[in-house]
Amino acid sequence: MTKYLDVRRDGGTATIVIDRPPANAVDPALIEEFLEVIPPLAGDPSVRCLVVRGTGRFFVAGADIAVMRDLSVANHVKMRRWVEVQRLLERAPKPVIAAMNGHALGGGAELSLACDLRILASSATIGFPETSLGLFPGAGGSQRLPRLLGPHRAKRLMIEGARLSAAEALDLGLVDVVADDDDFDRVVAGHAEDLAARPTTTIGLLKRIVEAGYDLPLDDALELEWQAVLELIGTQDAAEGLQAFLDKRPPRFTGR
Ligand SMILES: CCCCCCCCCCCCC[C@H](O)CC(=O)SCCNC(=O)CCNC(=O)[C@H](O)C(C)(C)COP(=O)(O)OP(=O)(O)OC[C@H]1O[C@@H](n2cnc3c(N)ncnc32)[C@H](O)[C@@H]1OP(=O)(O)O
């Protein structure tokens, strides 16, 4: 039983809804709930797309600043498990959507960087304001943002701590889709439905080799890719996708 997270199922999509008033700020209890909730969904073949979203005006406002006031190592060891939450999403063998219904700041923006598709509501803001608090994005942001935007733009965004508008974030490439507030749920559901219809096992393989191969010398990365191809050609989805094209019909992927 969780206090702050609710899991809602709709066909092949599972949505984790965060509700920790007033701003969905992150504390150790919320982190532990995520660590409890994600693994069963990541491992459930009937879950073909995972969505994380907030409630009200906030997606996630970042670390709970009142909690962060405890600058002890012990507290930060507990809070740093937020990085483990991100790794679970990043390594889930299925598409993961950050459905940012509201402000996505600090650790909230960091969480979104671990997801495969970032959708931001048009009135929401996103950014890494940690330096305004004397901190820096130390829950993955300082490492994932340069990989996304390049070192210069990432450093500037973190140094200045700007909260970007949805239009600015889209232009920068920090988010993939901006949806009008009053159309947000429909847009998220549409993307989730589309992604849930895609070959889950194939996507899991792809996520795995993109991450594992990224920092490898090219020859080693190509060998990693080849080993994944050998797994891929043994999947039912690969056979179904190819046959469906030849039959001139839509594929019916099962995720096997
Ligand atoms: C995420 C955990 C990772 C921990 C890793 C530990 C290892 C490494 C440690 C260092 C690394 C840091 C990790 C992480 O990157 C750190 C952070 O995330 S720091 C927090 C960053 N976020 C912010 O700075 C946002 C703060 N909020 C705001 O600026 C404003 O709320 C807003 C978004 C501009 C909206 O403003 P308003 O519309 O005016 O709304 P309010 O400000 O009145 O907010 C409403 C209500 O919510 C409370 N609140 C908002 N944000 C937080 C928050 N982050 N923590 C706690 N409380 C928050 C606000 O106080 C109001 O409360 P009320 O007054 O109504 O009781």
pLDDT tens figures, 46-90: 999 999 999 999 999 999 999 999 999 999 999 999 999 999 999
Q: What's the mean pLDDT when you consider all of the chain?
A: 97
Distance 24 CA to ligand 1 centre (A): 9
Cα 49 to averaged position of ligand 1 atoms, centre (Å): 28
- The DSSP symbol for 50 reads E
Among 130, 168, 193, 240, the active-site one is: 130
Q: How far is the CA of 169 from the centre of ligand 1 (A)?
A: 19
Task: Report the pLDDT averaged over residues 153-164.
Answer: 98
What backbone torsions phi and psi does residue 104 show, to the nearest 5 degrees? -125, 95
If one residue of 34, 68, 71, 144 were mutated to test the ligand 1 pocket, choosing by the most ligand atoms within 8 A of its CB, it would be 68
Closest CA to 200 of 120, 118, 116, 111: 116
- Kindly indicate the confidence band of residue 256, based on its pLDDT and cuts at 50, 70 and 90: confident
Identity at 256, one-letter amino acid code? R
Taking only the tens place, the pLDDT of each residue in 174-211 is 999 999 999 999 999 999 999 999 999 999 999 999 99
d(CA 129, CA 106): 6
pLDDT at 177: 98
Residue nearest to atom 40 of ligand 1 (CA): 23
Q: Write the pLDDT tens digit of every residue in 99-128.
A: 999 999 999 999 999 999 999 999 999 999
Q: Which atom of ligand 1 is nearest to the CA of 65?
A: 55
| Residue 240 annotated to the active site | no
The pLDDT score that the predictor gives to residue 223 is 98
Cβ 115 vs Cβ 52: under 8 Å:
yes
Which residues form ligand 1's pocket by a CB distance below 6 Å?
Answer: 22-23, 25-26, 61-66, 68, 76, 79-80, 82, 103, 105-107, 110, 129-130, 133, 135, 137-139, 141
- Cis before residue 137, ω within 30 degrees of 0? no
Among the listed residues 123, 179, 26, the one whose alpha carbon sits nearest the alpha carbon of residue 5:
26
pLDDT in tens, 141-155: 999 999 999 999 999
Share of the chain above pLDDT 90, in %: 98
Using a 10 angstrom Cβ sphere, with 0-12 exposed, 13-18 middle and 19 or more buried, the burial of residue 247 is exposed
Six-digit token string for 70? 């405890």
Q: What percent of the chain has pLDDT over 70?
A: 100
3-state secondary structure of 125: strand
3-state secondary structure of 224: helix
* pLDDT confidence tier of residue 1, bands split at 50, 70 and 90: confident
Read off φ and ψ for residue 247, nearest 5 degrees: -80, 0
Q: Supply the ipTM of this predicted assembly.
A: 0.95
